[in-house]
Each structure stands twice: as C-alpha cells, then as structure tokens.
C-alpha cells in the first residue's frame, strides 16, 4: 500500500469524512455578515477553532480542509492549527487553488487558477503539516454549457495540480463541481457530470497520477435549484452511483461528496441512500462545507462565547453524516 493510499484511508475510513473549512476570507466574510459577527481574523479563527476542538473530530472527521490564513494561525491552546487537528486524529489539508476566473475563449464560464508557483507553495504547506490538498473546478449547466473548452481546460488544470501534489507527498482532492444553479433537469446533471468526470480521469491518467492516492470530490446528481422537475432521494442516490460506476476507474479508493447548496438534512439523507445502495468498492463519504457548518454557525452567531453549545450543534451534524456514510442514518436519529 502506498503512503498516499494510507493517507486516503486514514481520512475516509470507518464512516469518517472531511470538514471543508476552507472558505476564502471573502466567502467567510459573507457568512459572518449574515450572522452579524465582524469578520476579523480573530473571529474567523474562533469559529473554526471551536469546530476543530469538538468531540466529533475524533469520531467523525478524518480530515479538515483549511484556507491559507487558518493553516498559519495558532490556537488558544498555543498549538498551531494543523497540530490541533492532528491531535484529534484527523489529517490537516489545504485548499491550494487561487479561485475560478473568467475563461478566456468562453467568457461566461470559469477556469480555476493557481498553477504558477504551486510547487513551492506545496512545499511550504507540507512543512506546515498539510498531508492533503484541494482544487475545485466549477462548471455551469445551460443549453450551451459546460463547453468542451471548459471541460477540457479544467480537467487539464486538475491533472497538473494533482501531479504536483503527489510529487510533494500529499493526496490531491480532485473536485470537479457541476453547479446546482439553474433550471436544468437531473438527467442534464447526469449527462454533464458524466462528461466532466470522464474527461478528468482521461487527463489524470495522461499525467501519470497514482489513482490509489487521490480522493474524488464530485457533486451528487440533482436537478437544478430552479427546476420544477424534482426527483426523490432514492433517484438521486441511484443516478449518482450510476454516474460514478460508469466514469470513475476502480483504482480510486474513495469519493467524498460536496454538499453544493443542499440543506443539511438533504445532504445527509442522500449520502445515506448512496451508501445503502453502494455496490461499488469506492468508499462513499462526505466533504461538506455548508452542510456541516450551517446550523453551528447560526447558533454561534447568537453568542460567540458559547463554545460548548456550538460544539453540541456541530457534533450532532458530524455524527449524523458519519452514520450516513455507513448507510445507518434515519430521520428518527435526527430527533434525539
Ligand atoms: P459545500 O459542501 O458547501 O458545497 O462546500 C464544499 C466545498 O469544499 C466546495 O468547494
């Protein structure tokens, strides 16, 4: 078993998943504005440290994706943030892309940037304690999009990124996110997501990526948020599994879904059903941002000194997601 594969299994085994706490300062400021908390670096740290010191870190969280600011911060207990995370048994990770910019040649679409100087930045993050990384490509669905250009260029960037990350001894999370925004159907989402994932693996293989040392972070198959053709969670689970079975090479050890704007309960229920029906060898778990943090953030906003109360809300959510990652969740458990 390669060192990279060991890291993957440490992060994803036994129902554990990933806490995506890598919001850029701009995004975090919007989240804090919504709860009327000033977006200072101290407050950003306080909220995140509250999550990283909670009990469920040991039981439910195998990895945490950090943002550049956070990985360099020191906790109240005088540990660095990566040390705090490692002390719970979880693996520290880092977002390394520098964001999605207008794609020249198809200006209504986006290309993710951040390859220039990446090799040196990766060395620094490794020194700081990171053992896995994230890069997110984004794709919009409409009649014309995603274009072949955006599918190809984002896949190419994801592959170049992955090669550099593995060269540096870390596990790349490969995140091609087909967005939920729009009025498209679940069938459209299925077709486009399939095309996007297929191209990503074509490029990953071209770039000699060790597929046993990556984590795929895809969207689930869902209708657009403005579509009037809703589908059941059972259908989402079945279409998501079909898409992954048809397009992901069997060497890939694990899939960690993004929540992408689903509610906490939807994201939990869908993951649970995916696992109930999982007839693949892929570990299927979560790498949620909003669907792990939303209620905890709302609670914390009422009193930022109520650390225990905030942790209780977060622990519940994280533990529910871990049950879902084992196909053992039910609505009754939510009420306890
Ligand atoms: P969401 O779960 O809120 O979609 O965030 C996950 C993530 O890391 C997006 O890049």
pLDDT digits (tens, 9 = 90+) for 310-329: 999 999 999 999 999 999 99
| Contacts of residue 170, Cβ cutoff 8 Å, sequence gap at least 6 | 4, 7, 122, 125, 126, 130, 131, 132, 133
pLDDT confidence of residue 150: 98
3-state secondary structure of 258: coil
Pocket test for ligand 1, best of 28, 99, 287 (most atoms within 8 A of CB): 287
Q: What is the CA radius of gyration of the chain?
A: 19
From CA 326, how far away is CA 16, in angstroms rounded? 9
Active site residue 217: yes
* Ligand 1 touching residue 137 (CB < 6 A): no
The answer to whether 141 and 109 are in contact (CB under 8 A) is no
Average pLDDT over residues 195-213: 98
- Joined together, the tokens standing for residue 302 give 């009422």
> d(Cα 23, Cα 307) in Å, to the nearest integer?
21
For residue 121, is pLDDT > 80?
yes
124 bridge partner residues: none
pLDDT of residue 1: 80
The mean per-residue pLDDT over the stretch 174-182 comes to 98
For ligand 1, whether the C-beta of 258 sits within 6 Å is yes
Q: What percent of the chain clears pLDDT 90, i.e. is strictly above it?
A: 99
| pTM of model > 0.85 | yes
Mean pLDDT of 279-285: 98
Give the atom of ligand 1 at the shortest distance from the alpha carbon of 136: 10
Write the pLDDT tens digit of every residue in 60-76: 999 999 999 999 999 99
| Mean pLDDT, range 217-225, rounded to an integer | 98
Q: What is the mean pLDDT of residues 158-175?
A: 98
Name the pLDDT band for 335 (thresholds 50, 70, 90): confident
Do residues 82 and 30 make contact, with C-beta atoms less than 8 angstroms apart?
Answer: no
State how far the Cα of 235 lies from the Cα of 240, in Å rounded to an integer.
Answer: 8
**Cα separation of 333 and 272, whole Å?**
13
Give the β-pairing of 110-112 and 100-102. Answer: antiparallel
Catalytic (active site) residue 167? no
Q: What spacing in Å lies between the alpha carbon of 23 and ligand 1's midpoint?
A: 9
CA of 19 to the centre of ligand 1 (A): 9
Residue 336 pLDDT exceeds 90 = no
pLDDT of residue 38: 98
Any atom of ligand 1 within 6 Å of the Cβ of 136: yes
Mention every residue, 6+ apart, whose C-beta is less than 8 A from residue 323: 15, 272, 329, 333
Cα dihedral sign for 18, 334, 30, 153? positive
How does pLDDT run across 4-13, given as a tens digit for each residue?
999 999 999 9
**Cα separation, 49 vs 26, whole angstroms:** 19
235 has a pLDDT exceeding 90? yes
What residues pair up with 18 in beta bridges, in sequence order?
A: 63, 287
Which pairs with CB-CB distance under 8 Å and at least 24 residues apart come from 70-75?
Answer: 70/21, 70/22, 70/44, 70/45, 71/125, 71/128, 71/129, 71/130, 72/128, 73/41, 73/45, 75/45, 75/49
Report the chain's terminal Cα–Cα distance, integer Å.
40
Distance 6 CA to ligand 1 centre (A): 24
């Amino acid at each position: 078993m390669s060192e990279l594969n060991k890291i993957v299994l440490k992060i994803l085994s036994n129902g554990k998943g990933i806490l995506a706490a890598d919001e850029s300062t701009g995004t975090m400021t919007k989240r804090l504005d919504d709860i009327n908390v000033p977006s200072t670096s101290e407050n950003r740290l306080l909220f995140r440290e509250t999550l990283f010191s909670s009990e469920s870190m040991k039981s439910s969280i195998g990895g945490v994706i950090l943002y550049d600011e956070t990985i360099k911060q020191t906790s109240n207990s005088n540990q660095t943030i990566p040390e705090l995370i490692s002390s719970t048994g979880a693996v520290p990770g880092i977002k390394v892309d520098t964001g999605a910019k207008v794609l020249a040649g198809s200006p209504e679409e986006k290309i993710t940037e951040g390859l220039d100087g990446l090799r040196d930045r990766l060395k620094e993050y490794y020194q700081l304690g990171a053992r896995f990384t994230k890069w997110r490509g984004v794709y919009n669905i409409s009649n014309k999009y995603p274009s072949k250009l955006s599918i190809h260029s984002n896949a190419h960037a994801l592959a170049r990124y992955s090669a550099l990350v593995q060269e540096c001894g870390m596990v790349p999370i490969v995140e091609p996110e087909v967005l939920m925004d729009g009025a498209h159907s679940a069938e459209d989402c299925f077709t486009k997501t399939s095309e996007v994932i297929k191209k990503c693996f074509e490029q990953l293989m071209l770039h000699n990526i060790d597929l046993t040392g990556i984590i795929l972070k895809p969207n689930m198959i869902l209708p657009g948020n403005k579509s009037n053709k809703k589908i059941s969670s059972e259908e989402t689970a079945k279409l998501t599994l079909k898409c992954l079975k048809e397009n992901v090479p069997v060497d890939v050890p694990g899939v960690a879904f993004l929540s992408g704007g689903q509610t906490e309960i939807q994201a939990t229920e869908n993951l649970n059903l995916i696992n109930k029906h999982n007839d693949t060898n892929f570990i299927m778990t979560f790498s949620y941002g909003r669907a792990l943090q939303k209620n905890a953030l709302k609670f914390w906003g009422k009193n930022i000194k109520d650390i225990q109360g905030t942790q209780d809300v977060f622990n519940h959510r994280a533990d529910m997601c871990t049950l879902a990652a084992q196909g053992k969740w039910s609505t009754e458990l939510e009420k306890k």
